[in-house]
Structure 1
Amino acid sequence: MDIFMQSLLLTVITFIASVYVFQKRRRRRRSVPTKALPPGSLGWPLVGETYQFLFIKTQHFIQERVKKYSSEIFHTNILGEPTVVLYGPAANKFLSTNETKLVKIWYMKTQRSFFNIPDQTQAAKPKPRQEAASAAPVTILGILKPEGIARYMGNRIGSTMHQHFMTHWEGKTEVKVYPLVKAFTLTLVCQFFLGIDEPKLASEFENLYFGLYSVPVNFPGSAYRRALKASAAIRKEIQFLIKEKIDALSKGQLVDDLLAHVAGAEQGGKYVPRFEISNIIMGLMNSSHMPIAVTLAFMIKHIGQRPDIYQKIVSEHADVTKSKGSGTALGWDSIQKLKYTWAVAQETMRLYPTAPGVFREVLTEITYEGFTIPKGWKIFWSLVGTNKDPNYFPEPESFDPSRFEGNILPAPYTWIPFGAGPRSCPGKDYTRFVVLNFIHILINKFKWEVKLPDEKVSGVLVPTPAEGVSIRLFHH
């Protein structure tokens, strides 16, 4: 029903605004030498090819046009913006090495609305305090490095995981994996980022995540409206928790968690106001919750379907357990030894990517592959365009972790799940730490069998298991 209403609304908007946008486009075309543009089409007035982009799998959207235009670069119109789509290892290298020089980050309207990011075209000059506090996001992101994760999670992740398995897995003969790993990853981000043991706002975080790639119309029942309400609720809760931390610190109480660290620094005037901090924390929680849950669900599904993969993982984790002892969380030394398990995780992320791509804005006219990309145009940098391209991954639909083993690795820039360059995702270490620790405990407790091997994959831009990955459990 939600998709139907969004489609209907898009059609109505198109009808009302078509004349205006057509005239605007004609004026734009007069100022741009179209013969120098990459091949492509701006699609329908106003909406362009937004519908196809949002409701067709990203790889299909790209491959259809790559085939049609015989080019790995093409122009379109997405979200009301003239956009050039870049795809392939050459494009990945070009964009990652030219961040801030030729392109800058550009946020979709959904991102600007949910995280209170100023419109890039109307952003005011930074206030003096903001300039002085510009290191705040860098400092927060630094906590996602191994040493930060070790400090604020440490062995706590082990007790959290054991409690999760004791409550939701032990004594069960059958479970649905996807709902359980969603609950677990939310518990973990609440502990890590907020310093609270009980998870909160589960539906709000899910609505926020899936609302990012929605039609940005505030219409009753739309994914956008649900996400807008969710972001407001999450922000309010984080701000309340920051106030609690500041009050506790002012009373001399010992509070040692990430949010207390941020709150204490803000107290001393070193950070941007808590409203902005809450947006940063919310963004980090958003990217550290659902993506890891999706990866774990599909990873567990494929391990359960492949006895050969299961046995190799069992063997690898047995060696780690001998060296570190049982019942404790994996440290970074142990994490480094689980190369095959991480290869399985990487192959899972290749087949089920949780971030289709990012947008950039052109700072100065770009010449690329003989084409001109005008200043001010947007670029959609497809992070997943190569994931299922047989030119880079033979038999791309098959699950084959050996693609990421030993010296047999994907060619440079053909697989970039965390992006590349100076703006690559800061959560790679956190993802690796959580995924490998979870699989370590799971593999030592259970063997499992997938009940629906041919379970359908739901979702368009973000894949999810349609039936939740039901498995039969066999205790060791």
Structure 2
Amino acid sequence: MSESAALELKLPPKVPGEKPGTGHMEEFNVNFARFLMRCNAECGELAEYNMAGQQTVLMSGPEAQEAFLKGLDKQLSRAAAYQAMVPVFGEGVIFDAPPERMKTQLKIQVDALRYQNMKSYAQVIAQEVEDWVAGWGDEGEMDFLDEFIRLTLHTACHCLLGADFRYKMTEEFKSLYHDLERGLQAIAFVDPYLQQPIFAARDKARARLQELISEIIAERRANADRQYGDALETFMSGTYKDGTHLSDNEITGLVIATMFAGHHTSSGTAAWTAVEFARNPEFTPEVLAEVQQVYAQGGELTFEALRELPKLERFIEEVLRLHPPLVLLMRRVIEDIDYKGTLIEAGKTVAISTYGSHRNPDYFPDPERFDPRRPQANTAQLMWAYIPFGGGPHKCAGNAFALMQLKSIFAALLPRYEFELVDAPESYQDDLSAMVLKPSSPCRLRYRRRQP
């Protein structure tokens, strides 16, 4: 865009309440989802706020969100916006890779989650759930956030790294993965290399995880004639255009990135799904009848059968509307943008809020009410308003795996158990302390075996 053309454009309205030096960082850290809703309410479709010197423009509403999600990397860069992920995924992996290598790595990641693999993953998840509930007994009480974190870590490891690793998995691996997750606090998106204890633990965990995964890779290379049918096999066989294979560091990074896509978001959503079944029991009978009908027809829930559960899927869609796992999506502006006569300058960050979008009463009437019978969210009319996994060419690669995992879990649980809240309904709140949404802890539910 020429300088003269840029001068003719207006600038985005600025969000009031900026403080010297830190801008809006303090308010953002207290409750960033509500802060973003204030930005939209006070400034409209575009709202510029200051994150300790990084000017960010929030784009709200389906039209603006469509422009964001359809933006090309050469204009709106994911890599530049997500440098906080580089120490987690590793140097030279995805957001730290040159564009062509990043494109190839993401394609290999998608290949690992294709239909053929998903069929075997469904069987793996079903078995993990069977093992999980085997010791429950007839009734009890648990913190289901902790339980789902444990379960989805097991299913993700089993699908990605294979049965051998899953059944040898130690508490060390779980602790290392937790340290990686803790390294994604909001401050990491300002500077992920600050001298902070959580960042030191993150870096130590990343190095140790590479050691553990490299041991598996070496063992598999020594047994090259064996087939595994998991994601690690796909990553090890993937190549760049010049025929070279991915390094151990790159494979480790893809494993971590795919685990984040398949586990990091699923555990919180699974916990919220259980809470919403307990908090809204009037919807359970129709979902349960649907699941029981599928069992009656085939005896087991295959990947194909899981695709024939529309009522369960609608219930999960409504959970994802009220509790979207990724609250904020970001891009860095590489070239000046003219958005409907407003200049968004290169160097700024642009962002969209799934949390705010899903609470827009123009598209979701009475938005705080949980209602899986509301008009289906994944329609053309709501395509750019309902965005739990983003959208466009960069939609989350793990969304199909996450949905399959959630349906597998609850298709197994609902015929066996009913759930009740332990604490007051209003005490179950979104935990907004990190960039991935989950229920506040403890998330206690009482379960009781269903009577025939």
Give the alignment's TM-score, normalised by structure 2. 0.85
The answer for the alignment partner of 1:316 in structure 2 is 290
- CA deviations over 1:197-252 (Å, ceiling 9, x no partner): 23442233233234323323667775444433333333332223222222222xx4
1:207 corresponds to which residue?
179
Structure 2 counterpart of 1:188, one-letter code: T
The one-letter code of the counterpart of 2:291 is H
**Aligned runs of 1:359-378 on 2, under 5 Å?**
359-378=330-349
Structure 1 residues 34, 80: CA separation in 2 closer, same or farther (over 3 Å shift)? Answer: farther
Paired position in structure 1 for 2:269: 295
1:238 corresponds to 2:206: no
The CA deviation string for residues 37-92 of structure 1, in whole angstroms up to 9 with x for no partner, is: 2011593455332332233132x1122122333x2211122264222111111111
- Paired with 2:104 and 2:415, the residues of 1 have a C-alpha distance of 42
Instruction: Select which of 133, 137, 142 maps to 2:111.
Output: 142
Number of matched pairs: 431
Q: In structure 2, do the counterparts of structure 1 residues 233 and 49 end up closer, same or farther at CA, with 3 Å as the change threshold? A: farther
Within the candidate set 400, 411, 428, 2:399 is matched to 428
Select the residue among 106, 123, 139 that pairs with 1:155: 123
- Find the aligned partners of 1:459 and 1:220 in 2 and give their Cα distance: 25
In 2, are the aligned partners of 1:41 and 1:76 still within 8 Å (CA)? yes
The match for 1:416 is 387
Per the alignment, residue 473 of structure 1 pairs with 448
- Counterpart of 1:146 in structure 2: which amino acid? Y
The higher radius of gyration belongs to 1
Aligned to 1:27: none
More displaced stretch, 295-304 vs 96-105 = 96-105
- Distance (Å, rounded) in 2 between the aligned partners of 1:205 and 1:66: 35
Q: Given residue 141 of structure 1, which amino acid in structure 2 is its aligned partner?
A: V
Equivalent position of 1:28 in the other structure: none
Q: 1:398 aligns to what SS in structure 2? A: coil
**What residue ranges of structure 1 are gaps of 5+ in the alignment?**
1-31
Which of these residues, 399, 409, 413, is aligned with residue 438 of structure 1? Answer: 409
* Corresponding residue SS for 1:175: strand
Match of 1:191 among 153, 158, 161: 158
In 2, the alpha carbon distance for the partners of 1:253 and 1:408 equals 44
Pair 1:48-2:48 in alignment: no
Farther-moved stretch of structure 1 (215-224 vs 442-451): 215-224
- Rate the CA distance shift 1:224–1:398 in 2: closer, same or farther, 3 A: farther
Distance 1:171 1:270, change over 3 A: farther
- 1:451 and 1:125 map into 2 onto residues whose CA distance is 50
- Give the 3-state SS of the residue equivalent to 1:385 in structure 2: helix
Aligned partners of 2:77 and 2:332 also within 8 Å: yes
Letter in 2 for 1:425: C
1:257 aligns with 2:226: no
1:352–1:147 distance in 2 versus 1, CA, 3 Å: same
Distance (whole Å) between structure 2 residues aligned to residue 50 and residue 225 of structure 1:
22
SS at match of 1:197: helix
Sequence identity, in percent? 20
Residue 100 of structure 1 corresponds to 73
Q: Counterpart in 2 of 1:464? A: 439
Secondary structure at the counterpart of residue 355 of structure 2: coil
Bigger relative contact order, structure 1 or 2 (CA pairs below 8 A, ≥6 apart) = 2
> Structure 1 residue aligned with 2:142, among 161, 166, 175?
175
Contact 1:175 1:471 (C-alpha < 8 Å) held by counterparts: yes
**Superposition map of 1:374-413 within 5 A:** 374-405=345-376, 411-413=382-384
- Which residue of 1 is the match for residue 254 of structure 2? 280
* Cα pair distance change 1:75/1:393, threshold 3 Å: same
Q: Deviations over 1:267-318 (max 9, x none)?
A: 9954321211211110110221131111111111111232321111111112
CA contact under 8 A between 2:332 and 2:347: conserved in structure 1? yes
8 Å Cα contact 2:287/2:311 also seen in 1: yes
Q: Specify whether residues 77 and 301 from structure 1 end up closer, same or farther in structure 2 by C-alpha distance, changes over 3 A only.
A: same
Q: 2:3 — aligned with what?
A: none
Q: Distance in 1 between matches of 2:137 and 2:380?
A: 37
Q: 1:349-408 CA distances to partner (integer Å, 9 max, x unpaired)?
A: 111121112221223211113210112322123233211122221111111111254998
Partner secondary structure for residue 174 of structure 1: strand
Q: Which residue of 1 aligns with 2:86?
A: 112
Deviation string 1:165-204 (CA, Å, 9 cap, x unpaired) is 103x234432332211111100011111111223442233
Q: Is the 8 A contact 1:456 1:465 kept in 2?
A: yes
User: Paired residue for 1:67?
Assistant: 41
Q: CA RMSD in A?
A: 3.1
2:48·2:58 contact (CA, 8 Å) conserved in 1?
A: yes
Change (3 A) 1:401 1:322: same
Residues 266 and 274 of structure 1 are in contact (CA less than 8 Å); yes or no, is this contact kept in structure 2?
no
2:141 is aligned with what amino acid?
Answer: E
Take 2:397 and 2:93, find their aligned partners in 1: how far apart are those partners? 24
Q: Is the 8 A contact 1:145 1:430 kept in 2?
A: no
Q: Secondary structure at the match of 1:454?
A: helix
Note if contact 2:93-2:250 (Cα within 8 Å) is conserved in structure 1.
Answer: no
- Cα distance 1:170–1:299, how it changes in 2: closer, same or farther (>3 A)? same
Residue 331 (1) aligns with residue 303 (2): yes
